[in-house]
Structures are given as structure tokens and as C-alpha cells.
Amino acid sequence: MFSRRTWMKGAAALPAAAQAQTAGKPKNIVIASANGVECCNIAMSWLRAGKDTLDAVIAGVNVNELDPHDNSVGYGGLPNEEGVVELDASVMHGPTRRAGSVAAIRGIKTPSKIAKLVMEETDHIMLVGEGALRFAKTMGYAEENLLTEKSRLAFLVWKRTLKDPNGHSNWSDGVDAPPGKSPKALLRLFPEADEKTLAWAHEMALHPPTGTINCLALNEKGEMSGCTTTSGMAWKIPGRVGDSPIIGAGLFVDQEVGAAGSTGRGEENIRVAGAHTIVENMRHGMTPQDAVMDALKRISRNYDNDLKRLDKFDINFYALRKDGVYAGGSLWSGQFRNTGFVSRQFAVNDGTGNSRLVNCPYLHERPR
């Protein structure tokens, strides 16, 4: 059961600098999910140069979208169940109160830029699938293959280790390396791959990630924008759309109040309209931290606070108020990976130097 103690524990994990944030005048500040350290550095450099807040966050997330080693975003993202990479992204621009998004778009490395074009160049807010790709091509983008060799290997490991209740798989006749056994056994199936990559691929097959990057920015003029971009849930049914491109779930910005975004299992977020809920909570006087924890409690409540069922997924929220006070929050204290237990963190750049990772307060302590 959820108890106040669990999230207090998480709050106690906040570094002094974050706890000492006080309300005040707007300032340049960028926050992002934990994979956004460099993203925040880039976005901050754009803010310092006086660029628009939306251009800043897009420049930031482009780092992840173009990074073949970030397997949860853009190029190199893990594919759907047919081995095809499908991306979702949304943007919101505080000064104009406009938004744009694309969902299940294939063949474009930087869906955040296409979401911005939808916002700027059309009368619509969301384009999906084939229509989104055609729009991107019309706007001058070339269709590219987004599947890297590493992601293709992970896809094959997932395919070849899937079995029916009788232990049969059309992709793995005679295979004796089902999930749960040592990744070393996979070396027999994939002799060309190294052990470390196979261990990672095995982990991805067992625990399909819903990585994503969310980035929120505020400048000294009080202008705010945000972007969320992802390759979504690995091995999803083609056409599955998560929370990232849903305005009000994966992202919401109202610069008269603040901004919020999310990473993690989108299905849970959509059911509580998380980002909108957080901004509305702040509008009604909650601190960013309380606003985030309230959204997490709504998700927990959807499972009657049953920790066994909640244990099957992770979800994280990020909030930035118009005066620069920020917060992150996670459903769980961290997650087990093949490298060990990884605590939840998020990235912050407050304009005083390089971005840093800070600990996320959390709702539930994951049993170790």
C-alpha cells in the first residue's frame, strides 16, 4: 500500500540545492529526463543566446533523436513487433499557446522538428502514420532507415526468445536459450555479437523499455516551451501510440502557470492526463513536487495501490513552474537492470554551469 512515508523518503533524497529552490523571478532553466544531460546543456546554450524556448528544447532533444545509442528515442530507437521503428513526438510553445505532434511516424530521425512544423505550418495539431511521413517529405525531409544494427539485434533476440506455452517459437526451432536463462546462452544463437551487447538485448527482450525524453524550458522573460519525443514501447503493435504525442498527457505547457511532461509507460499516463493534471494542480496552488506526486498517486490508485501490479511498470513526471521552481517524481525508487539497481534521477541545468542529475522523489520504494 502507498504510504506517505514512502514519498517522504524520496523527498528526503532531494539534494539541498533542489530543496532550496525558492519562488522568484523567471530565470533561464531547463529540465529533462535522466537521458537529457547533454540535451539540457544544448538547450541552455540556446536560451543564453536569446533563442526561442521551443527552438532551445528541440535543439536539445535532437541530440537524443540523432544518437544511435539512445535506444528509446529517434534514430536507433527499438522497433515495433515487425522490426520497424515508429516514433512519437509533441511540442508546445508557451508564448503562442500553440501545439503540434506526430505519432507512429516512420523514417524520420527528428520527429520533434516535424511536430513543430505541424504546429507552425498547418491548421492541425496532430498527424499520424503515413500522413505524418508524407507531410515530413512535403516539408523537405528524406525518409531514412532508423533501425541500427544494435536495435536489429535486440529485435532478433526478442523474436527468437519468444515462446508459446509449449516452448515453441517459429523463430527459434530447437533453441535452448529462453528468457530467464543466462544471456551467455544467446551467444550460441548470435555468435557474431559480443557478450555485453547480448546481455543488453536480453534485458530489452525481458523488460521492453518505454524510454523517451521530455525537456521543459523557461527563459528570463517568463517564456516557456516543452517537447517530448520517443520511439515508444519496444516491440509494440504497429500503430500503437503512447503518451508522448498526446497534448495533456506526455506534455503540457501553460506559461502563465508552468509546464510538465512524462517518460515511462504511456498507457498509464494517458489514463490520468498526467501533464495537464500537474499543470492544473500547480494552477490551483500545489508546489511542483506535490503536483507531480498527486499525478503519481492517481496512477497508483488506478491499480488500487496494488504494488504487485504496479511493479510491472515505471513512470516518471517532470514539472517546471513559471518562476523556475522544478520537480521530478517517479512511481518507483528505481529499477533493476543487468548492471544492478538504478535509482531514478532527472537532469537540470539552472544556468550556473553544466547540467547535473538530481535524485527523483518517488511514491513507492522498490523492494530490493
Return the bridge partners of 128, or none. 103
Residue 243 Cβ vs ligand GLY, minimum distance, rounded to whole Å: 5
Could you tell me which stretch among 13-21, 237-245, 273-281, 338-346 binds ligand GLY (CB under 6 A)? 237-245
User: Closest CB to ligand GLY among 265 and 276?
Assistant: 265
- Asked if 243 is part of the footprint of ligand GLY (rule: CB under 6 A), the reply reads yes
Q: At what angle do helices 4-12 and 288-301 cross, to 10 degrees?
A: 140
Confirm if 334 and 344 have CB atoms less than 8 A apart: yes
Among 232, 248, 328, 329, binds ligand GLY (CB under 6 A): 232
- Asked if 276 is part of the footprint of ligand GLY (rule: CB under 6 A), the reply reads no
User: Closest CB to ligand GLY among 198 and 234?
Assistant: 234
**Phi, then psi, of 6 in degrees rounded to 5:** -60, -45
Beta strand pairing call for 326-332 and 334-337: unpaired
User: Closest CB to ligand GLY among 313 and 362?
Assistant: 313
Q: Residues near 249 by Cβ (< 8 Å), separated by ≥ 6?
A: 243, 262, 266, 269, 270, 273, 274, 275, 276
Residue 70 Cβ vs ligand GLY, minimum distance, rounded to whole Å: 13
Residue 141 Cβ vs ligand GLY, minimum distance, rounded to whole Å: 22
Residue 313 Cβ vs ligand GLY, minimum distance, rounded to whole Å: 9
- Asked if 330 is part of the footprint of ligand GLY (rule: CB under 6 A), the reply reads no
Beta strand pairing call for 251-254 and 258-264: antiparallel
- Asked if 316 is part of the footprint of ligand GLY (rule: CB under 6 A), the reply reads no
What distance in Å separates the CA atoms of residue 363 and residue 315, rounded to the nearest whole number?
A: 11
Could you tell me which stretch among 216-224, 260-268, 330-338, 356-364 binds ligand GLY (CB under 6 A)? 260-268
Could you tell me which stretch among 79-87, 98-106, 166-174, 228-236 binds ligand GLY (CB under 6 A)? 228-236
- Asked if 263 is part of the footprint of ligand GLY (rule: CB under 6 A), the reply reads yes
Beta strand pairing call for 315-321 and 326-332: antiparallel
User: Closest CB to ligand GLY among 172 and 214?
Assistant: 214
Residue 95 identity (one-letter amino acid)? P
**The residue count for the chain:** 368
Active site residues: 212
Among 266, 274, 324, 361, binds ligand GLY (CB under 6 A): 266
What distance in Å separates the CA atoms of residue 356 and residue 220, rounded to the nearest whole number?
A: 20
- Asked if 233 is part of the footprint of ligand GLY (rule: CB under 6 A), the reply reads yes
The residue among 77, 103, 43 whose CA lies nearest residue 240 is 103
Beta strand pairing call for 326-332 and 362-364: parallel
Among 76, 209, 242, 248, binds ligand GLY (CB under 6 A): 242
Q: Report the largest interatomic distance among the alpha carbons of the chain, rounded to a whole angstrom.
A: 65
- Asked if 264 is part of the footprint of ligand GLY (rule: CB under 6 A), the reply reads yes
Residue 72 Cβ vs ligand GLY, minimum distance, rounded to whole Å: 8
User: Closest CB to ligand GLY among 52 and 314?
Assistant: 314
Name the closest residue to ligand GLY (Cβ): 242
What would the grid cell of residue 32 be?
529533462
What distance in Å separates the CA atoms of residue 322 and residue 338, rounded to the nearest whole number?
A: 39
- Asked if 212 is part of the footprint of ligand GLY (rule: CB under 6 A), the reply reads yes
The residue among 238, 149, 132 whose CA lies nearest residue 197 is 149
Contacts with ligand GLY by CB under 6 A lie at 210, 212, 230, 232-233, 242-244, 263-266
